[in-house]
Structure 1
Amino acid sequence: MEGLCDAEDTLARASQLWTMLDDMAKSNPESYHQFMQQQLKDAKQYYAPAEPYMCLEARILDPTEKSLFVNLCRWNRIPGPQSPSDPVPLRAGKMEEVSDKSEFYSVIDIAYNPSVFEKGKNDRAMKDQLIRLSLKYIEEHYNMTLFHSYTIVKFQLKGSLERMRQSLRREQAPVSQKNLRKEMTLNQLRNIVTKKDSSDRTLLENMVPSKTCLIEEISSTEKPEDLCTPAYEVTTRTDANGKPLKIELKVELPEVHCVSECNLSICKDDVLIECPTKYKLHLDLPWSVNEEATAATFYKRKRVLLISMPVCQ
């Protein structure tokens, strides 16, 4: 019953939102356009995938001595600390072991809100403390002992970009009702436009009390659902010389009744479509695309989503 009430409340808020936007579009088209552009910008940032920031090399002493690479990543989906007295939220992927002919090491991906890195961008002490907090989390979470020193390596990421993103996506954080409404609102706002045509030890000492947990892990104890991969078709449109102009993606979503049921994330190299409890489709694109010029249209009668992505020239 509680879930039904929440759904009805969300629908009521959505209806009020649509009415407000319709009135704004008629009475003040310029303000409506500016509002929509800002919401699209915010949605793009929120749904943008994680990006590598820096890579550390440390040493595991116990239980098995070997190298450990830690990919520190920026991700807008990870909330920043709400206040100086709050812990720093993070999302960690699963630690993976890599063994080949020349190397034997472990790698783990840890994501923070970009604002966390900005605080230590020009402050070596803050950066060092954030790194040590990350290593401390690894020690406690995996019950291991690390050598006290570390090295910031020249490359930003150990392993492939897709492996890192999949690792961090593997466990999604629970979404509060407040955040759920925010996500739905961003989807609805985006859809309106679419239909129109994400050795110092002083870091954080002044930010959090010494008796407070410095890091808060964003994770879920629930097992991820096995979602169906929808039928889809990818077509590349070319000019007379065979040069790619745009990529068209057609996705059949027979169980989707409204486009607001889907989360759509488009980056220059990949597309991610998630319809909670129904479908999930992640595709690597054959060409880099212009995210700003991308358009998506949902045909309600046919239950088909068509995405047109101009290729970067």
Structure 2
Amino acid sequence: METLCDSEDTLAKVTQLWTMLDYMAESNPESYHRFMQQQLKDAKQYYAPPEPYLCLKTHILDPTEKSLFINLCMWNKVPAPHSPSEPVPLSAGKMEEVSDESELFSVLDIAYNPSVLERGKGDPVEKDQLIRLSLKYIEEHYSITLSHSYSIAKFKLKGSLERMRQNLRREQAPAVLSQKNTRKEVTLSQLGNIIAKDDSSELTLLMNHSVPSKTCIIEEISSTEAPEELCTPAYELTTRKDVNGEPLKVEVKVELPEVSHVSECNLSISKDDVLIECPNKYRLQLDLPESVNEEATTATFYKGKRVLRITMPVCH
């Protein structure tokens, strides 16, 4: 009954929206045209891939001394802070080690909303502050010690454009930076790119690139009180193999008796692990026995049984 009421309410809102658009199209075609063009423009900007802005060079002092190149990138999918006093969200990729003929160095990609980087163009002090906060975040998040000096490279990007974009897209390591200090890491509630099929019994989520995803940032606020310990839900992890004994896919079944809708869950998948978080209810992080293909992963939530099933094809 609740599902039926929700569906009717959604249908009523959609019908109301289309009625308003039809009225605008008939009564004021020019306004309607401008409105639709603006919606298309906003969508194109939001789903545009990250672009390089500038490249920093510094040095890792510990645990292994070597050069570090930091690609600062612009990405509309990273939210802008609401005001100059608000924390600054960022999205960071995996630190990659690269070896060429002359030296061994690391490369890291970090993306900000374009508005954040634009403010630093005309204000060297603000640009330096953002860079310093980025370096501080890198030290804390990746557990390394950096040199306090840095230089801005003559090129905007270290490595290929495609490598940078893939690195940022596959990583789920968002954070917020405070103007005073580095804030705690936050969670990006993102179920890849989603095609949803919803009925009274289940909701299926397919991780692919055919439909854009929606993201939601949850800031973790520091507190003097001890955090409430979340329950670890019951789960089963199984590796399916072919007739030759080669692993085909990894399956995870998770029982979530207190969850009534998939929107209550945040699911993050990398090639090595799975993280399921249901705020104030459950938290489960599993290391996977095989490297999996995140892009081909599917997750199905059975509303009647309140069970989440995740199927992850093994990389070959």
TM-score under structure 2 length normalisation: 0.57
Q: What letter corresponds to residue 274 of structure 1 in structure 2? A: V
Structure scoring higher RCO (CA < 8 A, sep ≥ 6) equals: 1
Match of 1:40 in 2: 40
Q: Deviations over 1:163-211 (max 9, x none)?
A: 111111113589xxxxxxxxxxxxxxxxxxxxxxxxxxxxx9xx94x4x
Contact 2:78 2:91 in 1 (8 A): yes
Q: What letter corresponds to residue 211 of structure 2 in structure 1? A: E
Q: What letter corresponds to residue 104 of structure 2 in structure 1? A: F
Q: 1:273 aligns with which of 193, 200, 210?
A: 210
Looking at structure 2, the residues matched to 2 and 114 of structure 1 have their Cα atoms a distance apart, in angstroms, of 42
Q: CA deviation at 1:14?
A: 2.7
Contact 1:74 1:113 in 2 (8 A): yes
Number of residue pairs aligned between Structure 1 and Structure 2? 209
Q: CA deviation at 1:221?
A: 7.8
Match of 2:123 in 1: 123
More strand per residue: 1 or 2? 2
Q: What letter corresponds to residue 210 of structure 2 in structure 1? A: I
Match of 1:113 in 2: 113
Match of 2:96 in 1: 96
Q: CA deviation at 1:85?
A: 2.7
Looking at structure 2, the residues matched to 57 and 274 of structure 1 have their Cα atoms a distance apart, in angstroms, of 36
Q: Which runs of 5+ in 2 are unaligned?
A: 199-204, 214-266, 268-293, 297-316
Change (3 A) 1:280 1:85: same
Contact 1:88 1:215 in 2 (8 A): no
Looking at structure 2, the residues matched to 173 and 16 of structure 1 have their Cα atoms a distance apart, in angstroms, of 38
Q: Deviations over 1:275-305 (max 9, x none)?
A: 669x979xxxxxxxxxxxxxxxxxxxxxxxx
Looking at structure 2, the residues matched to 102 and 137 of structure 1 have their Cα atoms a distance apart, in angstroms, of 29
Structure 2 SS opposite 1:98: strand
Looking at structure 1, the residues matched to 53 and 3 of structure 2 have their Cα atoms a distance apart, in angstroms, of 39
Q: What letter corresponds to residue 32 of structure 2 in structure 1? A: Y
Contact 1:56 1:69 in 2 (8 A): yes
Q: What letter corresponds to residue 90 of structure 1 in structure 2? A: L
Matched, 1:154 2:91: no
Q: Deviations over 1:196-244 (max 9, x none)?
A: xxxxxxxx9xx94x4xx5457564488x6699xxxxxxxxxxxxxxxxx
Q: What letter corresponds to residue 32 of structure 1 in structure 2? A: Y
Looking at structure 2, the residues matched to 226 and 22 of structure 1 have their Cα atoms a distance apart, in angstroms, of 30
Looking at structure 2, the residues matched to 120 and 226 of structure 1 have their Cα atoms a distance apart, in angstroms, of 32
Change (3 A) 1:58 1:65: same
Looking at structure 1, the residues matched to 146 and 2 of structure 2 have their Cα atoms a distance apart, in angstroms, of 47
Q: CA deviation at 1:88?
A: 0.5
Matched, 1:73 2:73: yes
Q: What letter corresponds to residue 60 of structure 1 in structure 2? A: I
Looking at structure 2, the residues matched to 110 and 91 of structure 1 have their Cα atoms a distance apart, in angstroms, of 6
Q: CA deviation at 1:102?
A: 2.7
Q: How does 1:1-313 map to 2 (within 5 A)?
A: 9-171=9-171, 208=179, 210=180, 213-214=181-182, 217=185, 219-220=187-188, 273-274=210-211
RMSD: 3.9
Q: Deviations over 1:11-35 (max 9, x none)?
A: 4433322221112112221211111
Structure 2 SS opposite 1:71: strand
Structure 1 SS opposite 2:210: strand
Q: CA deviation at 1:162?
A: 0.8
Looking at structure 1, the residues matched to 4 and 87 of structure 2 have their Cα atoms a distance apart, in angstroms, of 33
Identity of aligned residues (%): 67
Looking at structure 1, the residues matched to 109 and 4 of structure 2 have their Cα atoms a distance apart, in angstroms, of 37
Q: Which runs of 5+ in 1 are unaligned?
A: 175-203, 228-252, 257-261, 263-271, 282-313
Q: What letter corresponds to residue 119 of structure 2 in structure 1? A: K
Contact 2:193 2:211 in 1 (8 A): no
Q: What letter corresponds to residue 77 of structure 1 in structure 2? A: K
More helix per residue: 1 or 2? 1
Change (3 A) 1:10 1:84: farther
Looking at structure 2, the residues matched to 146 and 3 of structure 1 have their Cα atoms a distance apart, in angstroms, of 53
Q: What letter corresponds to residue 38 of structure 1 in structure 2? A: Q
Contact 1:91 1:217 in 2 (8 A): no
Q: CA deviation at 1:91?
A: 0.5
Change (3 A) 1:129 1:157: same
Q: Deviations over 1:253-286 (max 9, x none)?
A: 9x89xxxxx9xxxxxxxxx633669x979xxxxx
